[in-house]
Amino acid sequence: MCMREPIRDRERLQHIIEAADTIMEHTKGVSFETFLSDKLLYGALIYYTMVIGEAGYKLSREFTEGYNDTPWSDIAGMRHHIVHGYYKVDNRVVWNIITNDIPALRVRVQKYLDEIDWAKWEIQHKQY
């Protein structure tokens, strides 16, 4: 049996950045009505929103507790709600998350990536 290398916090944060960038790129000039009517766009934006939630969920407890100025449990909960409660998702709430919360999250996550000494972090938290 082949064991995969665990993905470290830095890589999870990079996944959030990549997903946020994709969301932001594909929502420029897009209205809420277009978001709802373009099923491929809708599906892609929902998918990348779920990626952000899953990446946030997979961050180590040490990271989320150490950087608790970000609502990590809400981010993971959003993904859980979309996946398991897909039939009762409020599209206006999702649109607000996509257009307001995710750009702000991207800024915060980029700050973490830029300011943390990752070599030191990975050694201290055995992520090497």
Would you say residue 102 lies in a domain?
yes
Q: Are 64 and 86 in contact (CB under 8 A)?
A: no
pLDDT in tens, 51-83: 999 999 999 999 999 999 999 999 999 999 899
Catalytic residue chosen out of the listed positions 8, 12, 15, 79 = 79
How many domains does the chain divide into?
Answer: 1
Would you say residue 3 lies in a domain?
no
Catalytic residue chosen out of the listed positions 84, 92, 108, 125 = 84
Q: Are 84 and 37 in contact (CB under 8 A)?
A: no
Q: Are 93 and 77 in contact (CB under 8 A)?
A: no
10 classed as catalytic: no
Would you say residue 48 lies in a domain?
yes
> CA-to-CA distance for 43 and 83, rounded, in angstroms?
12
81 classed as catalytic: no
**Has residue 2 got a pLDDT over 70?**
no
pLDDT at 3: 54
Q: Are 50 and 79 in contact (CB under 8 A)?
A: yes
Would you say residue 35 lies in a domain?
yes
Would you say residue 128 lies in a domain?
no
Look-up of token digits 């999702």: 94
pLDDT above 90 coverage of the chain, percent:
78
